[in-house]
Every structure is written in C-alpha cells, then in structure tokens.
Amino acid sequence: MNWQDFEQEQPYAAKILKSGIEKSRVAHAYLFEGDRGTGKRAASMLVAQSLFCENSIDEVEPCGHCINCKRIENGNHPDIHLVEPDGLSIKIEQIRSLRKEFSKSGLESNKKLYIIVDAEKMTISAANSLLKFLEEPNMETTAILLTEQPQRMLPTILSRCQAISFKSLPTNIMTKKLIEAGVHSVKAPLLATITNQLQEALELNDDDWFAQARKIVLKLYEVLKQNPLYVMTALHEEWNGHFKEKQQLEIGLDLLLFIYKDILYIQLGKETELIYPDQHEKFKVDALQISSGRLSKQMTAILEAKRKLNVNINPQLLMEQLVLKLQGGHIFV
C-alpha cells in the first residue's frame, strides 16, 4: 500500500495520519478501529515506513527501496515490534517483553514503534501492563493498536490513544482489488457486494458451493417469472438442499435481493453499478416490465425474510412464504 491507495480507500484515516507526519505531530499512541479487511494492518506498515524511510518523498511517501523500507516490509526492523495473540489472547509476558525491549536505546536511531494486532484480545493483566507503558510515553515512541472491537478494551487505554476509524471499502474499490487478485470481472462485483473482506471474497470465489448458489438463485428468479407453478418444486429440489445452514440461507437471500437491486439500478440509469453484469440484457427487459413500486415490495419481502431468519422460523416455510410474496401472493404478516 502507498499513500495514494490509502487516501482512496480510507480518506478520513489517511488525512489524519498524513497530516500528523507532515507536521511532525505524530501521536504517541493510535487506535486503528474497524472491521476485518479494512486495511488497518497495511496502514500501520505504511506509517512505519513513512517514519523510518531514509529517502522519503515529500517527507511522507516512503521510497520502498531503502534498507529500512525493505526490513519493515520483511518484518525484521530492529526498532519496530509487532505483537500478535499467542493462541487466543495476548499475554502479560508478551507486553513485559515489549516494555523490556523499549527500555533499551534504539539500535538504529532514537525512534521506536510497536504495533499490537487484535488489541482487544489482551488479557486483563496484559492490558494493565500496557496501560502503565502508555501512561509514561517516550517522545520518540509510537504505538499503533489494531482492533475490530474497541468496546472490549479498557476505557483507560482508549482514552490514551488517538482513535482513527477505518470504514468498509466502497464496492467499486473492492471490485477493483478482486479483479487485480485474479477474480473474473463478472464475479467480482457480486463478491464485493457480499463481503468487504478480501480474503473471504477470494475464498468464496474458489468455493464450488458459492458458484452453484449463484446458478440456483438465478434459476429460481427465472422460474418465478416464467413458470410460477413450478416454483415450489424448484425450492424443494434445489434451493432447500443447497442452502441448509442459516449462514448459507442468508447468502442465498442476499444473492436473490441483488437481482432485484440490479433491475432497480437499470431503471435508475445506474447500469455501471450492476452486481450481475453478465445478466444485463435479461434484466434490461425485465426492468421495462415491472413498476418501481412492485420492485420495492419484492425487495422489502426479501429483507423481511432475512429479518425472520433471526427469530427461528422454519427455513422451508420462510422460503415458501417468500416466493408467494415475490409472485404476488400472500403478504408477510
């Protein structure tokens, strides 16, 4: 990651961090908070390179080629320490070891930086040990704590960090990342809409179950349009056997919802935002034959079905109710 990518993906976070580096006002402790896959770890490495680079461009952009940049990239810079959970937690021994290392003079300069991954997983004793460290900051020491769940951390630690929020990536940027990672351009928009986590999207892309799920959902939609009398048979023969678990059913309902979203996008002239770009011509015909009001009711029905998943309704009954609603039958009660 470079600053240009960072500013595109996380403009708020990038602006704060870049300004601090430019003005030599780097905080002694940062808290990077946000969902998995939002680039917190990559951003911490970028900050590290910017602070330690020997040939930085405009005093911010690391060159990426000097010995410090290379050692940070390879995880072996002597004045930068990474702490990760040992098993399920970060233990007090790990924080004590960190404090011992930081009591020594920097090997290369007076600057030191440490990064704590999954900081919410510190044990109480580890958190208290870190708190003492944060309460007596060295002017040349920078801490970066990464977390998905700041609410699980000690309020006293949170109060001593400058919190920077990392937002979910915009779908178009996630789509671009997936294509760059080798995902077919037809599948990338769908995966980017399903999940904001790059690794999870790549795993789904390689999953035969997901590929089959896409086919089953598109087939169900066609049956709903062209042969509504066969829809219950299609449910029992294909849908129920494939979407067995709650998480799988949630994905199936999302895939179905995205079909109606695409039709709405076509009606609104947003055809560059299609989630199923290979179905464009089919959906274009459908968009001419359905009113926006009817489309809205169908999307609401799917969202209501997703809500009902959380109240333990029978999944088979749930889907039967849904398809009746989608074809203009009974309304959810």
pLDDT score at 166: 95
pLDDT score at 187: 95
As to burial, measured by CB atoms within 10 angstroms (0-12 exposed, 13-18 middle, 19+ buried), residue 130 is buried
| pTM as predicted | 0.68
Return mean pLDDT, the chain. 91
pLDDT score at 255: 97
Torsional sign, CA 234, 238, 239, 244: positive
Q: Which two tokens stand for residue 129?
A: 């040990």
Q: In Å, what is the CA distance from 243 to each residue of 218, 251, 272?
A: 14, 9, 30
pLDDT score at 108: 61
pLDDT score at 69: 95
Q: What is the pLDDT of residues 1-33, one digit of tens each?
A: 899 989 988 999 999 999 999 998 999 999 999
pLDDT score at 332: 35
Q: Within the chain, which residues score under 50 in pLDDT?
A: 329-333
